[in-house]
Structure 1
Amino acid sequence: MNAVSDIKPDRRERALAALAEKPDGVVEAIASKADVTPAEILEILPKGAAVVAGKEHFLDIWSAMSTWGDVLFIVHTEDIVLEAEGSLPAGSEAQGWFNIHGDSPIGGHIRKDNCASLTFVDRAFHGRRSCSVWFMNGKGAAMFKVFVRRDANRELIAEQLVKFETLRNHYAAL
């Protein structure tokens, strides 16, 4: 977990300028424009907008989110933004992987040891509040993200939002 002061001044200036241009834009696009990492953009968000938890909390946070019901699971690379809606399976560890299988379209294998931290992100995205948990790798990019879903009116689902806020607040207090 890096502190804001860990960002070199020139990188910080570029990040702040790019964020100021599009404060509710796609973090990866803002980072690319500034030639910094997404983690560096998250670090300069206003206080409370990005709460970081250590990698040792991976299993506890995953387990808590597996009770949220259907979420939006996103993998964002430079080539694809893959979105899947479904519940997070409980998962189990074996042979260096965190394996997720169950009655959900979300499944596969996560190299859990590559997770450097988890960040609870609560910020505006294209004019609307967006809440998500980012599983960050050591390169400063999201391995994947889990978003609080929206209802038919495009509002955050209240029950999930409360669970997100409760979990985030727990880790913010540590």
Structure 2
Amino acid sequence: MNNAATTHETSPARLDELRARLSADASGVLEMFAQEYAVSMRTVIECLPESFRALAPGEHAEAVLLDIAGWGPVTVLVHTPDVILECKAPLPAGRFAHGFYNIGGGSPVSGHLRLDRCKTLAFVRRPFMGADSCSVNFLNAEGEAMFKVFVGRDEQRALLADQVERFSALWKRLGEAAIV
């Protein structure tokens, strides 16, 4: 999303400023922080307090997507400089064909993912707009978000407890994995 992130180096002092800002209030839009500080989404996520995030190698992307396919309705989000698209529905299980991981089959969520470009999975649990949020962020080699999957909510906007448990299990299992 952020071309500036690949052309500008951010000073250690500026990263310390971002860490302090996120430590004081981590509820903002992460892509906006990336743009403001001219860094990648991965860098912003790494600047979150440690208790808010865990990283895992992208090689686990298919396994994570297959796990999420059993969760029920989630929110799939794609955020570019010009648009934020959200789809609330179950994420269908996919399969590889023609160089893509293909999802579809009756769900409003369908498409063709280049999972080979997923370098890092970022599990993020933090406050957002006055509520708890949990997301799995699929980050490419440039550290930018390919897409995100958020734990679903009930009619009162509370996170679905069973999905939080499954999200937490993935975090615990994969968040300890070696990351490059």
Give the structure-1-normalised TM-score.
0.89
2:70 paired residue among 50, 67, 78:
67
Structure 1 19/26 Cα, relative in aligned 2: closer, same or farther at 3 Å?
same
1:55 paired residue among 46, 58, 63:
58
- When the two chains are superposed, the root-mean-square deviation of aligned CA atoms in Å is 1.7
Structure-2 separation of matches of 1:26 and 1:93: 32
- The aligned counterpart of 1:85 is 88
Structure 2 stretches lacking a partner, 5+ long: 1-9
Aligned partners of 1:18 and 1:31 also within 8 Å: no
Q: Could you tell which deviates more after superposition, 126-135 or 21-30?
A: 21-30
Deviation at 1:95, TM superposition (A): 2.0
Aligned partners of 1:19 and 1:30 also within 8 Å: no
Amino acid at match of 2:41: P
Identity, in percent, stands at: 40
- The aligned counterpart of 1:130 is 133
Deviation at 1:19, TM superposition (A): 3.1
- Per-residue CA shift, 1:76-127, capped at 9, x if unaligned? 0010000001111111111211111111000010111111111111111122
Q: Could you tell which deviates more after superposition, 70-79 or 32-41?
A: 32-41
- Per-residue CA shift, 1:42-67, capped at 9, x if unaligned? 00111131111101111111111110
Structure-1 separation of matches of 2:152 and 2:101: 24
Q: What secondary structure sits across from 1:93 in the alignment?
A: strand
Structure-2 separation of matches of 1:76 and 1:48: 24
- The aligned counterpart of 2:157 is 154
Aligned partners of 1:148 and 1:160 also within 8 Å: yes
- The aligned counterpart of 1:172 is 175
Runs of 4+ aligned structure 1 residues displaced above 6 Å come to none
- The aligned counterpart of 2:31 is 28
Structure-2 separation of matches of 1:118 and 1:20: 21
Deviation at 1:20, TM superposition (A): 5.5
Structure 1 20/163 Cα, relative in aligned 2: closer, same or farther at 3 Å?
closer
Structure 1 stretches lacking a partner, 5+ long: 1-6
Amino acid at match of 1:94: A
Structure-2 separation of matches of 1:76 and 1:173: 27
Give the structure-2-normalised TM-score.
0.86
Aligned partners of 1:96 and 1:112 also within 8 Å: no
Aligned partners of 1:65 and 1:88 also within 8 Å: yes
Aligned partners of 1:73 and 1:145 also within 8 Å: yes
- The aligned counterpart of 1:39 is 42
Structure 1 141/96 Cα, relative in aligned 2: closer, same or farther at 3 Å?
same
